[in-house]
A and B are shown apart, each in its own frame.
Chain A
Amino acid sequence: MLDLHPYTILLLVFIVLLFKHAINEVGKNNIQDWAWGYYIKFGSRIGLSQFAEYNQKKTELNKVNREKRSISAQDQYAKWTKLNRQADKLTAEIKSLDEHISQNKAGINRVVGLVTMVLTTLPIWGFRVLFRKSVLFYFPTGVLPYYLEWFLALPFIKTGGVGLTIWMFTVNSVLSSLALLVSFPFEKPVSKPVKQTRESKDTKTDTKAEIKADTKADTKATN
């Protein structure tokens, strides 16, 4: 089995959890969107054939449409119709390419999901299984009462030691508090609810009554 120094485990667990929290904060959807964006950007740059084709078809369609708009359908019917046919064909091709590319999107999303799982969930479970018995560090003697130390050491480690369970719990709570602290200033401010006073209500009904009176007068006038 892996023979890691307790401090290495401690640090690794911390890093993995930090990473996990960061991902949670950013949001999986955002990450997938970024991945997709980069895929499109670099895909067309390194010349994945379908992107090149797609872009070329798009520009071609634009050109055809511009040309179509520039001539009169009635005066140059044959030319216009030929352009129309071309545009129809291009549109159909673009649509099928589009479908093809969006199928890739599902693939990209799957890869992103897999990567995040490999980087976060799997290591945590791995640590939990492999190092369930290792003691990361010991409480200084006399800080906690014995029964508490005994309880915290459950189920696998020696009394008085700190295992992965406690460590992960601590790190998680600290990180989520930190995340809240960091993200709080960026939250959208919520406007303070204003209590509706009786006066404002009255004015509202007043205006309604006025409108009603106006319409009545109007209908009378028309009659």
Chain B
Amino acid sequence: MDFELEPTLESIVQQDTLKWIFVGGKGGVGKTTTSSSIAVQLALNHPDDQFLLISTDPAHNLSDAFCQKFGKDARKVEGLSNLSCMEIDPEAAMSDMQQQAQQYNNDPNDPLKNIMNDMTGSIPGIDEALSFMEVLKHIKNQKTASEADASSGKSEIAYKTIIFDTAPTGHTLRFLQLPSTLQQLLSKFQSLSGKFGPMLSMLGGGAGGQQDLFEKLNEVQKNVTEVNEQFTNPDLTTFVCVCISEFLSLYETERMIQELMSYKMDVNSIVVNQLLFADDDETPCKRCVSRWKMQKKYLDQMGELYEDYHLVKMPLLGCEIRGVNNLKKFSKFLLKPYDPKVDGGIVTELEEK
């Protein structure tokens, strides 16, 4: 068993089946750059298909990465007609949901109101699930809107792949373990409501509202289960980990991979960012050389540890990678391994924005 997997993301970019690509990692390792690069490469390699890049990070870096303002609705990237971007604030989505819940149950004397809020609030992963569902709803709305457009003559937008630039808040995908939790909870609720339903209706006078809530939770569970099935199917979904060649970043990456594997998600690519490649510099800078030595130490360890992963090594460039053209230049190296002798020029030749 001594075959090496190619150190590129070719398997992801050249595929035909993937519907969801998640890009994740701790803050500051280049998630947004990597996800933008993947999106750009996908768009370049499949000019006939549409792609969507979604950022759920409240810091909203996509606008900066593409030097173009994006918002809640998908907007096309200037210069790449088959790539759209959108920025969604998960917090806002969550508060929207809460407001909606209030609408369902607006009786101030309802004794169950607070209990319900507390209970639904304390299910692990529910907030992530809700914000994620909000995202999915957005996409669906987009689709129906475009279908309406289609009837008026415009062509329908169906995204071949959706790339997620996840927020660095750790348990981004904790909601993947939600369906089982929710199932238990719902069966408890249902048996309770069967027993106490009449009493509750006497107390609160609004068992109907409660029923609505159960239905809502049921719906949530159904949606989450559906999403779960899609996400745990390696043909449809994959996760790309981004890290830098330093101890803590590697450690966090390892933990993330273990967690994802416990959710049965497919992880087979790791992008190592910000490498210095200082071996053949004409005018060696001492700091770069010694730091590159350290990076190499961790790279070696990673090679040993993640034998069966695609380990993509990306260089650290001279300035921030912003704008479609720069992203195009940079993202090449996702497919063709960076060679400092041949490609060294890119470090300094990016257009300043």
Contact = CB atoms under 8 A, between A and B. Distances in A.
Contacts of B247: 73-74, 77
Interface stretch (A59-67, A80-88, A137-145, A160-168): A80-88
Nearest to A84: B254
A78 B305 CA distance: 5
B54 interface: no
Contacts of A84: 254
A79 to B, nearest CB: 8
What's the dominant secondary structure at chain B's contact region?
helix
B177 to A, nearest CB: 15
Interface extent on A, as a size class?
10 to 19
What's the dominant secondary structure at chain A's contact region?
helix
Interface string B296-310: 001011101100000
Contact of A78 (B251, B258, B304): B304
B309 to A, nearest CB: 13
Contacts of B298: 77
B258 A85 contact: yes
Contacts of B243: none
B65 interface: no
Interface in A74-125: 74, 76-78, 81-82, 84-85, 88
A76 B250 CA distance: 12
A85 B305 CA distance: 11
A87 to B, nearest CB: 12
Contacts of A78: 300-302, 304-305
Contacts of B250: 77, 81
Contacts of B254: 81, 84
A88 to B, nearest CB: 7
Interface string B243-279: 0000100110010001000000000000000000000
Contacts of A88: 258
Nearest to B304: A78
A81 B301 CA distance: 10
Contacts of B300: 78
A81 B305 CA distance: 8
A84 B301 CA distance: 14
B305 A82 contact: yes
A82 B304 CA distance: 10
Given A77-B247, A81-B301, 15 more contacts: A73-B247, A73-B251, A74-B247, A76-B301, A77-B298, A77-B301, A77-B302, A78-B300, A78-B301, A78-B304, A81-B250, A81-B254, A82-B305, A84-B254, A88-B258
